[in-house]
Structure 1
């Protein structure tokens, strides 16, 4: 069981991480809003949702933070469309959008990890991996104890999605600091 205080803490931590790490440049506007319940479910099941969800080439970056008591799964939804490519593949950038977005996702997850380390000293972060967005339809089969879906808009042009799931092995209750500041760039940790 995850207490309402812990659920609210996970939400605040995700918002801080997304707003500080998903934008490529400081000062870029990043708006995170809860996805409408029905539309979030449709997006997670691979059906159309807004301008940036539901195409056949939609993919997700999956990152996991694990502790003795819980496992947090961060799923970032993106598409290889013109606006997303232009934003994340800045002038002279080499490689695929997938590689650039995996690094961005890793930074976001690293910020979540740093925030959670204040409360849980035994955390480990997985290596990010990319899946077809159609795989997200199977999340409910994993039985998350907490699940939240978000729409993320950067500079009103790049539309992303995010799903945060938490799985617990014991009751979980904590309160995240209201104004925590990340001390790290979200290094990759292997375990």
Structure 2
């Protein structure tokens, strides 16, 4: 069982990581809204990552639209499809790692021995089947990058033990990318 407090905390964690991972083309934080179910475009791909501990597994999926549309956002200096499919997969994986890493760091405050998977790229048509697997909680979100481009995100949780915690984003913004000296 996952308590309502844990579900709300996981939602806040996920939205916080999405907002800190995705920005609009003008450089502002992207708007993230909850949707009933992700609706990926045909021909789109998704990057899937997992966070696992002894008592739970979180599956996170980011559904990227067709390569040219998403590449315009992920690599504004590239020429869309000219960057190549491997470059597109690498950029999707990088964003997925950033998002999942933030959630992993925050959930690690409550659960010991969490581990994060490497990104897997699959066709977005597999997305609806995420909730067909046994799960205790699932939620879907839409990230509005601009008027034409949106990215869908899904979170699915399977647990083997009760899960209850309360998380709120710290009042101070965390600085990333700087060296830390011990």
Q: TM-score range by the shorter chain?
A: 0.7 to 0.9
Check 1:24–1:97 CA distance in 2 against 1; reply closer, same or farther (3 A cut): farther
| Partners of 1:153 and 1:159 within 8 A in 2 | yes
What are the superposed Cα offsets for residues 76-116 of structure 1, whole Å, 9 maximum, x if unpaired? 10122543221112215855322211111111100111111
Identify unmatched segments of 5+ residues in structure 2. Answer: 178-182
Aligned match of 1:169: 160
TM-score by length of 1: 0.80
- Please report how far the alpha carbon of residue 142 of structure 1 lies from its aligned counterpart in structure 2 after TM superposition: 1.4
Runs of 4+ in 1 over 6 A off after TM superposition: none
Conservation of the 8 A alpha-carbon contact between 1:114 and 1:184: no
- Match in the other structure for 2:28: 28
Secondary structure (helix, strand or coil) at the match of 2:155 reads strand
CA distance in 1, matches of 2:149, 2:107: 28
The aligned counterpart of 1:70 is 56
The aligned residue for residue 103 of structure 1 is 94
**2:3 counterpart of 1:17:** no
The CA deviation string for residues 8-43 of structure 1, in whole angstroms up to 9 with x for no partner, is 0000000110000123889433111011x2xx1xx4
**How far apart are the structure 2 equivalents of 1:159 and 1:117?**
29
Instruction: Give the unaligned 5+ runs of structure 1.
Output: 44-48, 186-191
Q: CA separation in 2, counterparts of 1:9 and 1:66?
A: 17
Distance 1:54 1:24, change over 3 A: closer
Q: Number of paired residues?
A: 171
Give the stretch that moved more between structures: 100-109 or 2-11.
100-109
- What's the secondary structure of 1:103's corresponding residue? helix
Q: Structure 1 residues 76 and 28, CA, compared in 2 at 3 Å: closer, same or farther? A: same
Superposed displacement of residue 121, structure 1 = 2.4
Distance 1:147 1:129, change over 3 A: same
Match of 1:146 among 137, 157, 161: 137
2:75 paired with 1:86: no
CA contact (8 A) 1:28 1:155 kept: no
